[in-house]
Structure 1
Amino acid sequence: MSTIDLRKKIVELTLVKKQLTGVTARVGIVLDITGSMRNLYSRGVVQEVVERILAVASKFDDNGSLDVWIYDTEFSRLPPATERELGSYVFTHILNNANIHKFGRNNEPPVMEDVIRKYTQEEKDTTPVFIIFINDGGVVRQTKQVIIKASVLPIFWQFVGIGDSDFEVLKQIDSMTGRLVDNANFIHVDRIEDVSDEHLYDQLLNEFPQWLQAAKSKRIIYIS
C-alpha cells in the first residue's frame, strides 16, 4: 500500500476509537511560515505534515482535498491539497511561489478571519469545520479574542505547537471564558517528524468529538 493509503487506514481506526465514524467535516490546515519555520520547510517537514493531514481530510470529506492557508505578518489562501500533488505541494504552491510573503513575524488574527470568512460567508454551511493550526510559537494575544468570537460558529480550532517555544498564549486556550462552547484545543509536539501517525491522529482528534456534541446541543451544527 502507498503511504497515503496506510495513513488513511490509521485515520479510519482512529475514527472508530473516537466514535467519529460517519461524521462529515470540512478540513483545513493553517501553516505558520514565520522566520523560525524556515528550516522545517527546507527539510520537508511541512510537506510531510500536509500529507499526514490530507489523510484526515480524505476520511472526513468526500471531495478528498485539504483546504490550505499560510501566514506570517500576511496570509495567503492556497489551492486545496490533493493526492495528485503528494511530495510537491509545498514546493509548488509555497516555496516556489513568489507571490507569497514568507519568513516574517507572527500575526494570527487576519488568517483566522479569512478561515471564518470562507466557511461562514463564502461557503455558508452548518457542516462542521475542523481546522488544524500549525505554529512554532510567538502567537499574538489577540488570537484569543478571535477564538472567543468564533465560538458561535461551526469551526473547531486544533492548534499544534511544534518546537521548543513556551506557547504562552496557546496554553491559555482551555481556561478562556466567554465562549458559547469550548471550540479550541492545543497540543504540543516538540519534533512532529518523530511522532508516529497513530499518536499524531490520536492527539489531533482527542477533543473534536466533545466539541461536536457541545456544538450540536447549542444548535451550532446539525449532525445525526
Structure 2
Amino acid sequence: MELKLDDVAQKAPELLPLIVSSRLTLKKHKLEDHTARVVLVLDISESMRPLYQKRQVHDLVAKTMALGFQFDDDQQIDVIAFGVNAHDVGEYGINNYKSCVDDILKRYPLEFGTQYDKPLEMLLDKYGDSNLPVYVQFVTDGDTQHREASEAMLRKMSSAPIFVQFMGISGQDIMPEGFDKIDVVEPAPAAQPATKRGLISRLLGIGTPDPVSPVKQAKKSRLPDGFEFLVNLDNMTGRKVDNANFFALKDPASFPNDKLYGLLMNEYPQWLKAAREARIL
C-alpha cells in the first residue's frame, strides 16, 4: 500500500520532510516499491528514564516510523516494549504515532532490568512464519542481561524472515564506515591481525583473535554504556545469514535525517538479498 503525500500532509504534516528524506533513501536502494512488516521495539528499562524525560526516544521514534510507514504492508507499525518482560503494545499509524511513546509509559512502568532475549523471542513467535520480510527497529540505551540467551535467540532468528536494526541512544555517535564520525574511535592500525568483521567492528578495531590485545582493550573501554555486546553482534558466528546491525546516536533530534535513513538502510538491503539466496524469503 503506497503512502500518499496528500494523506500525510492532511493527517501528519510534521512528517512530510521526514517522509521525503527517507523516500530518497529507499529509492537509492531500489526499495521504493518494497513491502514488509515493520516492528518497533522499545526498551522500557529504568535506565531509559532520562531519555524519555528529554524526549530523545520520542524524536528517534518519529524519525524511524516515518521510514517504516512507507513500506509497511498496512502502514500500521507493530510495537513491542520490554524491560525484564516483553509486552505486545499494539499498532500505530500516521493518525496516532505521536502518542505511541507516551501511551507505553502510561501502560507499562519502567522495569528494573534489560533482557533482549524476551522481545527477540516474541518477535520469533509472532513473525517467524511471516510471508513478508520483517524489519525491526530496536531502540535501547545499552547492554542486556542474559547475553547468551540473547545471542542464542538471534542465531535462531537468522533462519526466519526477520532483520533487527538495533539503535542505541548514548553519550556519543557510533557510526559504521562511510558515515561522518563524531567522537568515534579511530580504526585499528594496519598491523592488527586481519579477520572478517562487521563494519562497526572494523571501525572500532574489536573482534580480533587476540583477547588481551592492548589496542583492543583500549578501544573497547571507550565504548559508552556497555554497547560492546551490540557492536559484536555484527561479528557473531553461527547464523544462517547476518540478520542484525547496530548504530548509536548522541542526539536523535539534531542528527541529519538523510544520514539517519542511510544508517537504517545500511545492511537491510544486503540482508534481503542474502535471505532470498538462503531461501528464507
Q: Structure 1 length as normaliser, TM-score? A: 0.90
2:33 pairs with one of 2, 14, 22: 22
* Cα distance in 2 for residues equivalent to 1:86 and 1:31: 14
The SS at the match of 2:78 is: strand
Alpha-carbon distance between aligned partners in 2 of 1:182 and 1:138, rounded to the nearest angstrom? 20
In structure 2, stretches of 5+ residues that fail to align are 1-8, 172-224
Tell me which residue corresponds to 1:156: 163
Equivalence for 1:129: 134
Percent of aligned pairs sharing the same letter = 35
Q: 2:83 aligns with which of 72, 94, 101?
A: 72
Aligned AA for 2:139? I
Write the distance in 2 (CA, Å) between the matches of 1:112 and 1:39: 24
Give, in angstroms, the shift of residue 89 of structure 1: 2.2
The answer to whether the 8 A contact 2:59-2:252 is kept is no
CA distance in 2, matches of 1:84, 1:181: 36
**Which residue of structure 2 aligns with residue 94 of structure 1?**
104
Q: How many residue pairs were aligned? A: 215
Give, in whole Å, the separation in 1 of the partners of 2:133 and 2:264: 15
**Alpha-carbon contact 1:74-1:101 (below 8 Å) kept:** no
For residues 133 and 117 of structure 1, the distance between their equivalents in structure 2, rounded to whole angstroms, comes to 17
Map of 2:113 onto structure 1: 105
Question: Separation in 2 of the partners of 1:47 and 1:191?
Answer: 11
SS at match of 1:11: helix
Matching residue of 2:211:
none
Q: What residue is the counterpart of 1:11 in the other structure?
A: 22
1:178 deviates by: 0.9
Residue aligning to 1:174: 234
Q: Deviations over 1:174-219 (max 9, x none)?
A: 2111111111111122222321221111101110000000000011
Listed one character per residue, the Cα deviations across residues 104-153 of structure 1 (whole Å, up to 9, x for unaligned) are 21111011111111112xxx322100101111112231211111111100
1 CA distance for matches of 2:68 and 2:248?
21
Q: In the TM superposition, what is the alpha-carbon distance from 1:166 to its structure 2 partner? A: 3.5
Change (3 A) 1:179 1:199: same
Cα RMSD of the aligned pairs, angstroms, is: 1.5
Between 43-52 and 33-42, report the one with greater CA deviation.
43-52
- Residues 143-166 of structure 1 show CA distances to partners (whole Å, capped at 9, x for unaligned) of 111111111000001111211314
Q: Hey, what's the Cα distance between the residues in 1 that align with 2:19 and 2:130? A: 26
* Cα distance in 1, alignment partners of residues 278 and 51 from structure 2: 39
CA distance in 2, matches of 1:86, 1:74: 23
Instruction: Please name the residue that 1:189 is paired with.
Output: 249
> In 2, distance between residues paired with 1:86 and 1:215?
30
State yes or no: 1:56 paired with 2:67.
Answer: yes
Q: Distance in 2 between matches of 1:64 and 1:79?
A: 13
TM-score in terms of structure 2 length: 0.73
Residue aligning to 1:82: 93
